[in-house]
Amino acid sequence: MTRNHTSPLRRALVPAAVLAAALVAAPAPALAHDVLTGSNPEDGATLDTAPEEVVLSFNNAPMEGGSGSAVVVTGPDGETTYEDGDLVFDGLDVSVGLSPLDEAGEYTIGYRVVSSDGHPIQGSLTFTATEEAVTAAAPAEESAEPAEDAGASAAEESPAEVEASEAAAEDEGGSSLPVGLIAIVAVGVIAIAAVAVVALRLRKGSSTQ
């Protein structure tokens, strides 16, 4: 009876080959990139209160700054944009302020940031603003006051000013009254003196004839 003898080296190589084949056959783990994990407003939300900012949250902190990052909020007309100010990076969050929403309907949040591994992350979300939200977000209009006539207001005087003017007029009138009387008396005196002179001359003339 013949027996097959296997060398120790061969016995050692067989398990190693099996292990190597298993490793080759196993799927390679996919390289995971950073992803968006949440947002405020939430994707698809309907809001009765207009948001003042958009906040995007990621599983790893995006790279701050650079021209590759942007968040654009487009209104229902597909043209008007509402983001206001620079992006703010705060750990896992990226945020941007919003100007007041002035139209009810669906808004689109388009974003692009650079992930922690240097790859760009981009996508879009939506939210809907109701008429109530838009009305509440509208700036309060100042009540229009009736325009006053500049000439009339300039001509108007307060009661105190009117009283002071009248008092001044009375003072002027009172001080001018004696002057008038003096003038009248002076004229009367001159007239009487002239008459007396004429009468005296006439009397002398008649006495000499």
pLDDT in tens, 90-148: 999 999 999 999 999 999 999 999 998 888 999 999 999 999 999 998 876 554 455 45
The residues spanned by each domain of the chain are: 36-137, 173-209
Structure-token match 């003042």, residue found: 52
Residue 207 makes CB contacts below 8 A (sequence gap 6+) with: none
The arithmetic mean of pLDDT across residues 181-198, rounded, is 69
CB 112 within 8 A of CB 121: yes
- What is the CATH number that goes with domain 36-137? 2.60.40.1220
Whether 80 shows a pLDDT value over 70: the answer reads: yes
pLDDT in tens, 9-26: 455 544 555 445 544 444
Q: Please state which of the ranges 19-28, 50-59, 128-137, 196-205 shows the lowest mean pLDDT.
A: 19-28
Q: Which residue in 48, 36, 46 sits closest to 120, CA to CA?
A: 36
33 vs 122: CA distance, rounded Å: 12
